[in-house]
Amino acid sequence: MAIILGVDPGSRITGYGIIRAQGRHIEYIDSGCIRVGEKPMAQRLQSIFQSLATLIGEYRPEEFAIEQVFMARNPDSALKLGQARGAAIVSAANSGLEVHEYSARQVKQAVVGKGGADKSQVQHMVQALLALSRKPQADAADALAIALCHAHMSQSVLRVASAGGKVRSGRVRQQS
């Protein structure tokens, strides 16, 4: 049984989602947002780092998944997002967690079934897949979707490996 911490990084709001996955059974544990507000950037990054370190200490995840950086229209926004990702990744790495990265398209494909899904579709599917009584806040839903994507991808790799295949460069090859 693996506890997975998914993170949707942001320079003002960083979403997190924690699930437990065993085979095809997935259980919701916790989710929320780290809100850092209008502090200077260095203090925001420190808050992201420390908040994630606290969550890692409390829930003891075995796996960590984060959204890859995407090219924003505003270069300044992309740089700030990259810095927030860096703070999150270092927090995970300091705790000995391997970092798994997924594109927004991969996450949406895994959770909604189409890579171009919008935020409300992701929220709806996260609520349905985890049997939540209400829709999670958008950033928390995105983080849960990242954790779900990782759980699905991990299961796919295990199925291929148990069938005698090897995964290389994103392709599956049968063993001789």
pLDDT tens-digit map of 127-160 = 999 999 999 999 999 999 999 999 999 875 544 4
Q: Does 45 have pLDDT greater than 50?
A: yes
Q: Class assignment of domain 2-155?
A: alpha beta
Q: Where are the domains of the chain?
A: 2-155
Which tokens is 119 given? 């935020």
Please give the C-alpha separations between residue 6 and each of 14, 21, 38, 43, in angstroms, as whole numbers. 11, 12, 24, 22
Question: Which residue is associated with the tokens 């798994």?
Answer: 100
8, 27, 38, 58: which one is catalytic? 8
Which tokens is 25 given? 């059974």
Angle between helices 104-111 and 138-162 (to 10 degrees): 80
Residue pair 36/14 in contact (Cβ under 8 Å)? The answer is yes
**Percentage of residues of the chain with pLDDT beyond 90:** 77
Query: Looking at residues 84-113, what average pLDDT do you find?
Result: 96
With cut-offs at 50, 70 and 90, classify the pLDDT of residue 121: very high
Active site residue 139: yes
Active site residue 67: yes
Does 139 belong to an annotated binding site? yes
Query: Looking at residues 80-88, what average pLDDT do you find?
Result: 95
Q: Check residue 165 and give its pLDDT.
A: 55
27, 63, 67, 118: which one is catalytic? 67
Selected residue with higher pLDDT from 54 and 169: 54
Q: Does 162 have pLDDT greater than 60?
A: no
pLDDT in tens, 56-82: 999 999 999 999 977 667 888 889 999
What pTM was computed for the model? 0.87
Active site residue 76: no
Please give the C-alpha separations between residue 154 and each of 23, 61, 74, 149, in angstroms, as whole numbers. 9, 15, 33, 8
H-run or E-run covering 20: strand 13-22
Q: Check residue 71 and give its pLDDT.
A: 65
Gyration radius of the chain over CA positions: 16
Residues 131, 133, 138, 144, CA torsion sign: negative
